[in-house]
Each structure stands twice: as structure tokens, then as C-alpha cells.
Structure 1
């Protein structure tokens, strides 16, 4: 009789459970084998439990491939069995960790981690979001995003960002050799003219002509080519060229210092090894400081890197030094004011907060054409919930540079905070994209807003558009994680709408 076979199977399962509790995993597997063989095939829910239990024993024995097979069989028998979904996700994560870093290994890792994320998303939707599972999902997203970013970076197609982004990059340098007009009629002398016309695609070919012809500005051309490779996000090629310049005995101090600054920042952008990257980066900046201790660019750019490394006090010292060396370095001055404000806010020092605000009032008078002064002052006012005043600052910056899409986006988000009108916010961000179709901040913001509205497919689509536009591998990994989280929710919801397996159990025996 079928009920007798079921009772026999359940007895074997119980015996297997006792052996499992006694850490006799081999013996437990033998009992689970007997349970599975004895169980009537239409008792799918019971079979799902037996396969899951055998998966647990195989996992304890580090037989991960067998554990994965059992999880899969368990889920086939009961596609809403949260325990099996949870275990399959964890086994997949362990298997993914054993894979190599070549292209094949990365593709397999991405596939496994994506499935693990989908499994855990289903599990959470079935059981509710538990702290342990949320922590697991967070670690999954970091590993998955990192693997996807590494793979995407290997095959990245050279592409310039918007003209605004390129111009903004050069505001961090007051002594870049590229910005000094060159006399004569040679390829490199024409490069700056094309920059001023926003004809960026013509610059690297002109540099190549100067380099291959062994012409007088060969080293300047190499440095400029490396700079525009950075802007095209071709980090490996840029790194090689910068290193070649730095090791060239004929390289002048100014060119070498600029190359060291750019290589120092590039170590952080590549995100290969956080500890080693920071060490290499600061070593380059320190070498640049020895070469040109009075170069404000060294301190401005090292200050920005130190902020990224959470070396807050050192960053403030660097920005102060940049401002002391070059009082007319507008970007350094307003960055210093903003870091002063953050420090004062962290310590709740009201007198220093007032001093920072007064400093920004002075800054917009001293540097009325510095868009960053208005943008950072607006952030300070927004942090103090002086929303109308912040709005006025964003508008002044936008009036000064109507093509600055970032200011339009910040203003849209501020208006959302003031009114709660998300539809109007979305309209304004899409207007910003008409100005700058390569604005990753716009796409990321749209994705975040759609996440809040639980429009997960739309969110994933926006993150997909942002990913190829960001500069660093770390930013790519973050966006891949957001996209994967949204996709996993879409897929989990779709699977949960399907007919449950094991329904034939109802009304039987």
C-alpha cells in the first residue's frame, strides 16, 4: 500500500536525521537514500524534504556538487520550499568562491551568484526578510557586482563621457602641461584647439602623430594621450603609458609630477586591491610632492583621494595647503569649505558650521563663475533644511552653466524633498538627459527612484544604462549590484506566480 511505503520512507528519514545530529553524515546519507527510494513519487513535498536533508549532509562533507544536485531535486519537487532555496543559495556561493579569475571562471561565478541571489530573493519573499538573509544577500551582491565589473572592464569599448565631464576633470588641475599653448605648427600644438572646440576624438590621434614622429613635444603628447585614455576609461593602457613617462630619464619635473598625480588617482579608480591600491596611490602623490612641493594640484588631488580613503583630517590638511599655495584655485577652496562643514556637522559644532556658511557666502563673491561653489553651498544649505535657499543656489549655478545636467538633477531631487511630487522629479531628470545623454548620475537616480516605487524592471533598465558610463570599476560593481537586486526581485516574483509543484499531494492518501 502507498501509505505503508510512505511510513517506511518517513522512518528512514527520521533515522537519517538522528545520524545527522550525531555528526554521522555518511550514515545519514545512506538513510536518506533509502527514504527517497521508498517514498511514493507523488509525495513530492516529503521528497523535497528528504532531498534537502541529504543536501545538508553532503554540504557538511564538502561534497558541494552533490549538495547542489540535491537542492535542485528538492526545489523541483517543491518550488516554494524556502529551506531548500536558502541552502541552494549558500552552496552556490561556496562553489563560486572556488572558481578562477579568468573569463570562463568569471562567467561561471556570475551565473552561480545570480542564481543564488534569485533563490535567496524567493526565500525572503516566502518567509519574510530576516537579518541573516539580508546580510547574506548584501555579501552576494558585492561578490556578484565585483565579478561582473571585472568582466565588463576587460572588454570595455573606448568612449568619451560628455564634454561637461571632461571639462570638469581638468578643473582639478591648474598646472596641467596640456593647458599651456604650444608655439609652432606640429600635431600636438593643434590638440588644445580641438579641446576648446569639444572635438575630443581628434586629440589622441594628434598625440600619436607627435609621438611617432619623435617631435619636440613627445612627452607632453604621451601625458595628454594617457589623460584622455583615462577619460575613455581605458585604465590599463593609461597606467602603462603613465608609468613609461614617469620612468623616462628625459622627463621634466612638471610632466613627471602631473603623471604621478594622475597615476596616483588611477590606482584608486582601478580598484584591484583596496589596501595595495591606497599604498601605491599615496606613494605616487608623495613622490609628486617631493618633485614639486609648491604645486597646488598635488594637494588638491591627494586631498580628494584621502577623502575617498576616509583619511578625513589628512584630506583637510591637503586642501588647506592647496588653497594656501594658490588662493585663486576655486575648486580647492570650495572643497576645503565643504570638508570643514562636514567636520563641523559631525562634531555638532555650531560655531564652525556658521563659519563654513560664511565661507561659502564669501566664496560665491570671490569666485562668481565657479559652478561648484554654488553646488556645494546648496548641499550645505540642504543639509541644514534651508531648502528654499538651497534651491536658489542650485538655480544660480544652473543659470551660470545651463548645460550642467547634474545641477538639474540635484534641483529635481530637492524639489522632490520639498513637494513629494515624484512624477515632476522624473520629468526634470529626463530633461537633464536631453542635455547630457551620457550622464550616469541621471540613470542611477532614475533607477533608485523606480526601486522606491517597486518598479524593479524599470529600475534594472536604468542601472543597465548607467553601468557603461561610470568611470571606476568600484562604481560599476555598485551599479551591477543594484541592477542584479532589481532583476532578482523581478524573477522571484515571476516564479512565485507560477503553479506550485507538489499540488498533486492534495487529497491523496
Structure 2
């Protein structure tokens, strides 16, 4: 019998072991076939490597699978079965880039007719995209959005104390009426300075001024925490915003409007982080503590749309409109939901 004939016989024996689930014995037979096969018989040799890779796959030895498939592809570059098996091994080894390269080659060679390979390509593309986006997001410099964006963000709230203009009483201490003393208090309050900067659209200084109020444990500490958290959210730093929001929410003696607003903002943050259960809990708690707050229903309605709970969304928008009949935004959202 010729060397190739002996190699084929070893492979056939390996196939019988493979079908019987005796993968270690199958591997021995395929290894024998590889050693007996004349090196110039590329296609036969590539098949033996691919068969051994299939046996390794059953034993979940992914590195060996990838190595044998590589040998098979080197001998037969358009070997679809080996390319796809290597793609699956790369997926198991978390080599997303290599997996995508292989499965893309498979899709092209199959003229995009095989759903199995196309589904794997789609899955890996999404995972790689998420990974790259996360990496880019982690390393990016926090940037303040445009003044127009910030104004638009605050316009989605009607019961937000921190976005209201400075009142005359806030510019002085409760009973002080002398101009000198009033300006002195304003000078010493980081929160009031932050509010002044907000009116001037000097947004870059708001976080630092709010921090001064918080560190000094000033009388506007709850407001400063909420203001700082809001601007952390605006620059995309949710991990810094959350502790501030948590603190405001837990302040039982704080103004209920502040706590409700913090709950709405934390709920919206959870919504962006795809945590609908936590988001719903926050919106429901905000409705419990401040049932007359139109913002709660407006923002909870948006969450309901995303969760495809259209009837509940419309109910929330209706309640928002009842509390704030002039809310054009809620009217528009309701029309969108319908």
C-alpha cells in the first residue's frame, strides 16, 4: 500500500473513533495520517489537519484547534471548513480581531449564503464595536457640551431648582440688607458663584465652584451636589456623578424637589447604562416623594417608550401635561409615542 493509501486508512480509522465519541483515539489516528502523508499531497494533508482540529474541538482544546486549522489553511488557503472552525476557536480564545478576519473570509468564499457564518460575523462585529467604543470613551478627555446643548438639556426640566435664575434672597443672607454684606455672602458661597457662572454661560467653572461649597459644607451643600452631578453627567462622567446623586437622594431633610430631580437624573443615567430595572425604581420613587412634579412623568414616559411600554408612556405624558398644560415638549413626546 502506498504512503498516501496508508495515511487514508489511518484517517478512516480516526473517523470511526470520532463518530463513536472516542476523540483521543481519533486524534492519534489523524496524527498518524499526517505523519504518513507525502508532503506534496497538500489537499489530503490539509484534510487530516482539519479532521484533527475537529477532534480537538470536541475536547474544547481551542489553541490546538486554531493551530491545526492554520496548518490546514496554509496547505489549502480557500478551505472554508478550516477557516470557520478556526474562527470559532478564536471566538472561544477571545481573539475577536482574528475571529472577524476568518469569518469575513468565510462569508466572502460562501458568497454570503451561509447564515451560520454571517451570524458569527455579526456577533463578533458588535462585540468588537462595543470594546472599541468603551476603550475610546474611557480614554477621552471630558468635554463640556455646547451652551446650546446645555440650555436644551435644562429646558427638559420645569421643576429643577438648580437651573432657576438666582433670586434676590439668594444674593444675601436671610436678614442682611446692606449691599456690602450681601456681596460678601455671595463671594463666600461656591454654589451661588456657580449659579452666577451658569447665568453667564461660563460653564467650565461650575464643577470647581460647586466643589468649594461641598468641601466647606455650606448651606447650599445639597444644591451644590446636585449641580456638580448634573455637570458631571453633561461631560459624560457618570461614575463621578453617581456618588453626588446618591448623597442628595439620601438627604431626607433636603428639599423634596432636589431629591426628586436627583432621582430623575440617576434614573436617566441608569437608562443610558441599559439598567431598566434600576431606572424604573428611581422614577417610581421620585413619583412617590414628589407626585406633583411634572418632570418625573415626562422623563419616565421617555423610559417607557424605550421599553416599548407605549400605553404607560402615554399615561405619563398625559399626567405631565395635566400638571404643566403649557409643556410643548411633553405634547411632542406624546405624539411621538402614538
Question: For the superposition of Structure 1 and Structure 2, which TM-score range results when normalised by the shorter chain?
Answer: 0.7 to 0.9
| 2:243 matched residue in structure 1 | 240
Q: Does 1:38 align with 2:26?
A: no
Alignment check: 8 A CA contact 1:194 1:202 kept: yes
| Counterparts of 1:41 and 1:75, CA distance in 2 | 15
Greater RCO between the two (CA within 8 Å, min separation 6)? 1
* Aligned with residue 226 of structure 1, among 225, 229, 246: 229
The residue that corresponds to 1:159 in the other structure is: 143
Match of 1:329? 327
Separation in 1, partners of 2:37, 2:26: 16
Partner of 2:101: 118
**Unpaired stretches in structure 1, ≥5 consecutive residues:** 97-111, 272-276, 341-509
- 1:193: how far off? 4.0
- Alpha-carbon distance in 2 for matches of 1:36, 1:314: 66
Over 3 Å counting, the alpha-carbon distance change for 1:323 and 1:157 in structure 2 is same
**CA RMSD of superposed structures (Å):** 2.0
Unaligned runs of 5+ in 2: 172-185
Are 2:118 and 1:134 equivalent residues in the alignment? Answer: yes
Q: 1:161 to 1:4 in 2, by over 3 A?
A: farther
Decide whether aligned partners of structure 1 residues 168 and 73 sit closer, same or farther in structure 2, where only a CA change above 3 A counts. farther
- 2:26 aligned residue: 28
1:314 shift after superposition: 1.0
1:304–1:20 CA distance, 2 compared to 1 (3 A) = same
CA contact (8 A) 2:232 2:240 kept: yes
Greater Cα shift, 299-308 or 176-185: 176-185
Partner of 1:40, secondary structure, is coil
Q: Which residue of 1 aligns with 2:314?
A: 316
Match of 1:105 in 2: none
Q: TM-score, normalised by structure 1?
A: 0.59
Pick the aligned partner of 2:127 from 132, 143, 157. 143
* Correspondence for 2:81 among 58, 76, 83: 83
Secondary structure at the counterpart of residue 299 of structure 2: helix
8 Å Cα contact 2:165/2:199 also seen in 1: no
Q: In the alignment, is residue 300 of structure 1 matched against residue 298 of structure 2? A: yes
In the TM superposition, residue 155 of structure 1 has moved relative to its aligned partner by 4.2
Moved more, 293-302 or 127-136: 127-136
How far apart, in 1, do the equivalents of 2:108 and 2:314 lie?
A: 46
User: CA separation of 1:13/1:161 partners in 2, compared to 1, >3 Å: closer, same or farther?
Assistant: farther
1:171·1:331 contact (CA, 8 Å) conserved in 2?
Answer: no
SS of the aligned residue for 2:308 comes to coil
How big is the shift at 1:221? 1.1
* Alignment length (residue pairs): 318
